[in-house]
Amino acid sequence: MPEPDEVLAQRAQEGDERAFEDLVRRYAAQARRIALSILGTPEDADDAAQEGFLAVWRHLDRYDPERAFRPWFLRIVVNAATDLYRRRRVRAAQPLRDSERGRAAGPDRETDRALLRDRLRAALAGLTDRQRVAVTMFDLEGYSHAEIAAVLQVPEGTVRSLVFHGRRNLRRALAPYQGEGT
C-alpha cells in the first residue's frame, strides 16, 4: 500500500529527497494537466508545474502534516500557473487564426485532433482562471467540490457555480464547431 501523501511530505520536510521524488511522481501528471488547462500550451504548463514543485520543495517547512497535503500542494501549482498565465495573457488569449477557423475537418484524423485542441484552447482561454481550474479538477481529475474549494480558497457553493458557468461557457464556445471535428 502506498504511503500517504502526508507521511511522504513529513519525510521530505526532514530532508528525505526520495520521499519528495515519490510525491513528484505521484502528482506530476495532475499538476501538468491542471497547469495546461490554465495556460494552454504544454511548454508553459511544464514551466508552471516545475515552478510549483520547486516552490513546494522550498516551502515544505510551512506545510502542516496534520492537514491534507493534496490541496496545499495543488494550490501552489495553481498559483504558479495563474501567475504565469497573467504574465502571458496576451499570447494565451489570442483568437484562432482565420485559416484555422474556416478550415473544414480534413480526412487526416491527426489534423482534426489538432484543430479540436486549438478550439478547446481558445474556449478555455475564454473562461476565468477559477472556472478553468474548477472544471478541470472536477470533470477531468475527479476532485470533490470540497477539495477544489480548499485549493481555490473559496466556499464549496462557489465551486459548484464555477463548474456550472465554466461548462456552459465551454459548450457555448464550442457550439459553432459542433459536427466538424468533435
Partner 1 sequence: MTEQHELPVERDPEIAALLREHLVIHNEDAFVASVLTRVRADQRESSWDILARWAPLGVAATVILALGLGVLLGWEIRQEAAPPVAPTTSSNTMAQWVTSPGPVTNDIVLAAVLDGDRWLGAMPISEGSR
Rounded alpha-carbon distances, angstroms, from residue 145 to 26, 77, 155, 163: 21, 18, 9, 9
Does 120 participate in binding partner 1 (rule CB under 8 A)? yes
Using CB under 8 A as the binding criterion, the count of chain residues that bind partner 1 stands at 44
Does 113 participate in binding partner 1 (rule CB under 8 A)? yes
Which of 3-11, 32-40, 69-77, 99-107 is the region at the interface with partner 1 (rule: CB under 8 A)? 32-40
Least distance (Å) from partner 1 to the CB of residue 170?
6
Binding positions for partner 1, 55-84, rule CB under 8 A: 57-58
Residue carrying the nine cell digits 470533470: 139
Helix (H) or strand (E) holding 114: helix 109-125
Closest to partner 1 by CB, 25 or 66: 25
Strands (E), 21-141: none
Start-to-end Cα distance in the chain: 40
Least distance (Å) from partner 1 to the CB of residue 42?
7
Per-residue mark of binding to partner 1, 139-168 (x: CB under 8 A)? xx-x-----------------xx-xx--xx
Exposure class string for 118-139: b at 16+ Cβ within 10 A, else e: bbbbbbbbbbebbbbbbbbbbe
Question: How many angstroms separate the CA atoms of 74 and 113, rounded?
Answer: 29
Least distance (Å) from partner 1 to the CB of residue 76?
13
Does 117 participate in binding partner 1 (rule CB under 8 A)? yes
Other beta carbons less than 10 A from residue 104's beta carbon: 8
Closest to partner 1 by CB, 69 or 138: 138
8 Å CB contact between 134 and 39: no
Q: Tell me the one-letter amino acid at 139.
A: D
Binding site for partner 1 (CB under 8 A): 17, 20-21, 24-25, 28-29, 32-33, 36-37, 42, 45-46, 49-50, 53-54, 57-58, 113, 116-117, 120-121, 124, 135-136, 138-140, 142, 160-161, 163-164, 167-168, 170-171, 174-175, 178, 182
